[in-house]
Structure 1
Amino acid sequence: MFAKAFRVKSNTAIKGSDRRKLRADVTAAFPTLGTDRVSELIPGKEELNVVKLYAHKGDAVTVYMIGGNPILFELEKNLYPTVYTLWSYPDLLPAFTTWPLVLEKLVGGADLMLPGVVVPPTGLPQVQQGDLCAIALVGNRAPVAIGVAAMSTTQMLASGLKGKGFSVLHTYQDHLWKSGDKSSPPAIAPLAMNPTDSNEEKVDPGLHGNLSSLTLEGEEENRKVHHPEASEDTSSGALSQDSQDSKPLQEQMDELLHQCFLHALKSRVKKADLPLLTSTLLGSHMFSCCPEGQQLDIKKSSYKKLSKFLQHMQQEQIVQVKELSKGVESIVAVDWRHPRKGSTLEGGEVRRIVIDYAKRNSLVDADNRNALFPFSLVRLDPILCDCVLEKNEQHSVTKLPWDDLLTRCLQNMQPAYQVTFPGQEPILKKGKLSPIDITLAQKAYNKKVTVVRNLETYGLDPCSVAATLQQRCQASTIISPAPGAKDSLQVQIQGNQIHHLGRLLLEEYRLPGKYIQGLEKAPKPGKK
């Protein structure tokens, strides 16, 4: 609502009677606030101004200002707190959490979609459709936005956390926030939750027997889930949930060392930088790749020295280290290739590999053991970090929900498709499968022609198709190279011949309609 500049209509000091009425309205709107805190929010003597303005879409809004900061705004007789107020009273509204990168989208005027909502170990707050909610970022309970729930919590979970979750009204860094002192959110630590104190039913992130389906175990049977005691057997497919903190310090430091090393090679070191002093690699690249809240100390690792660690990386054929001058080692070569590069995998295989890898390396977050799969969190070790994280996420993202992790893995892979023709070996090609494209073009003297592309992808000879259409449509045809496509021909038929072309492709060649684009442009039959 305040993503763009608004127009102020008036700014006046509030009267005593109006101040008392405002307190009563706030008490009614937010009963959990209590009388004392309402008096604290709206003091009796401090100057309180009422600003009437028009938002960029024309909505009439009333804003209440104290000490130069907006504390409340009123829209269609409904009161809403600003982020300044929520920073003082972070528990005033049910709070949902999202990732820091999402904030930029919210500030720009976007609503919060459910795939961007982070599910905490204790589950989502219980809200109804239309309830006012706060939105905070991972690791800080200070709200950065307020919005109205687009559906109830039950509906959110039933949808698989898909679709719009909240209509956002106001955010940190929007123009309403800019009308105040422009202070930043305070650091408010998340509430410490002891899972044993919760009265909620515990569930285990059990997997369906078909791992590639990414569903809850028994989802096809009314979405049932298993209790922990029912899934103690490791053969049931339950993921290991050892805590990172339970690992020895040396093992944790080894993992951090690998993570920083691979991050540095992935995002900071370029081929042009080689040869690179090993001391420069550590001081200028690896230390800066260390996640926030962690400190890289090689002496606490099992390697003790950087040279020993790099020797191990050389044995793994990741880098090549040489002593270019006496006593000074440099990295002279890096193997940038992934061991699985060139092999093909189906989506189900990718999911199974990632899930098996997380099981084998105990990467499921132990603090999140009560969350439902696929919403439990997975800790990112160096390999996963290298696969899925962007450069601007390296210092902040250490865990991802299952669905986000798997989606990122699939998106980062090179797409490919396989076409099989009768009596021939399957043909595997890189890239996405393009449909047969049918378009209409306007020629001289207002004449239309029908153009068909991508016939070869589906084993169709453009010359044969052109000859068949020429006979059936009694129209001239031209075969020419397809623009922007190497070794591909296009067929051009005089007039709008999409109807005949559709019958040929669908009925005779029996191609599925989903692989044909442009059939809707066929001429409509005349009126009888």
Structure 2
Amino acid sequence: MFARAFRVRASTAIKGSDRRKLRTNVAAAFPNLSAEQLTEFIPNKEELNVIKIHCHKGEAVTVYVTNRNPILFEIEKALYPTVYALWVYPDLLPAFSTWPPVLRKLAGGADLMLPGVVVPPSGFPQVERGTLCAVTLLGNRAPVAVAVATMSTAEMLAAGMKGKGFAVLHTYMDHLWEYGDKSCPPTLAPSVTDSADKERAEDGEEPAISFPTDMLQHVDIGDLSLKEQDGCATLVGKEELDEDKAAETADDASTEVQQEAEDSRTPQEQMDALFNQCFFHALKCKVKKSDLPLLTSTFLRSHMFSCCPAGKQLDIKKSSYKKFSKFLQCMQHQKILQVKELNKGVESIVEVDWKHPDIKAFEVPEGFSSASAAQDSKSEDREQVYHAPEIIPLYGVSTKMIPLFQESGHKKGSVLSSSEVRNIVINYVKANELVDETNKNFVKVNAILCDCLLDKLEQDEISKLKWDDLLSRCLEQMQPLHQVTFFGQEPVVRKGNIEPIDITLAQRSSNKKVTIIKNLELYGLDPQCVANILQQKVQASASISPVPGTKDRVQVQIQGNQIHHLAKMLLEEYQLPRKYIQGLEKAPKLGRKK
């Protein structure tokens, strides 16, 4: 379900009453949770957000997030735990094990076939068709997938362990997992249930994994193969499995050595090493000489972040440098690059020593594309990666409006959508019987509505308001806010109304016109990238300079009246709504051909 990227529609903090209702629903869905575990699972005071998403196939899903990690998702009023929740409560669901090579197929959207399920000596847990189950990897009790059984345990055995056994909903390494902190599964020892296994565990030996005789009559291990059949994953063949296991053993050994070396370093030293790795990776694979000069902020956001390995996150404050400018100064002292302040307050990388020994000696980590492939597709990726943000106007309860909203449980600063404001006002009017009996299009103004919505000069003159006037006055008296959701990121709520992209024309020397574009950053657009694309399209020089009177804003300036080309790029290619672009009416009028 989450094998492909989903779209976030809305994100709100859960209210106290909804939190209690959710806890009741969780208790009903997972009765084996104790009262103490239930309180930990749905905490009373910690931040808990509700996120509405749309999956790539159009499914509407509600996700509950706490401590930045999704813990539950809800589909058609049915609750399902995420892998983050199952790592804390590994025994929450009946579990079935599979082989490690199968995981990559499950993460790619495949279902789990019965030949890929490992039969433990103690037998399978008893489940019915439609039971929610966890999928684990052999040797680790930490779940890596959440699935629904398509057969009961008896039907699985009767089918000779053939056919599709589980419909997979969510896995470790899918996009729902990526929405969290991208942590890896913990290592949890398998539960020891067999008496012989218990004796081995007491002696310090690992429990043996064997297949019951009756099951071996139905399943020939040598005939199993890992390949995708009708979108389902099965097990690898015996020879391939031996090779995979040998490779995994070697990888595990090297990984353990690497982890031991990393564990010996402080978190600060580890973050320093991660910054160095991403820095050299970005210079070697992402940046070309033609990109210079390059804004340091763009280099960090667009190049270094994309080189960060999965499961890790760059955070300059956790490093010894504390500021990215100090990190670049250190690299400058090593004569790897040169940074200059081309415009006041805006630093850019102006030169890179591509022949520096550290850059030449750097090896690209496995899992990343080669430098040449990255460079060839760089300009193309820039255009394809952009997704127009979703912008939702919101309203905050102001001091003046507190009396009107406190009956519905809201206080100063509560963030509401326009529909929520409308419902609260309508409920207030009906509860206080303020609808005019003679004309239901009007609402009688009581003392609270008078104080909240009317000016001093109006209070003695107006006794009734039309519904539309009442609602518009409510919105006008509230604090304007807006929520911006960029593709693949959590929604961000900002104060005020969002500023539109501002396009203006200016006169320069010799009566030449230039087009100036501001506020691109507010919509997730890289000004340098926009300048480069425009320069190529219209064959005119483009530059970037700070916006006068600001510290962190820049503007794009390009020769001539290029509003026609800008409109086509912003509206058609980037698919930004026209209402968020200001100045398109200044485009040059095309003359008629004679």
TM-score of the pair, normalised by structure 1: 0.41
Structure ranking higher in helix proportion: 2
TM-score of the pair, normalised by structure 2: 0.37
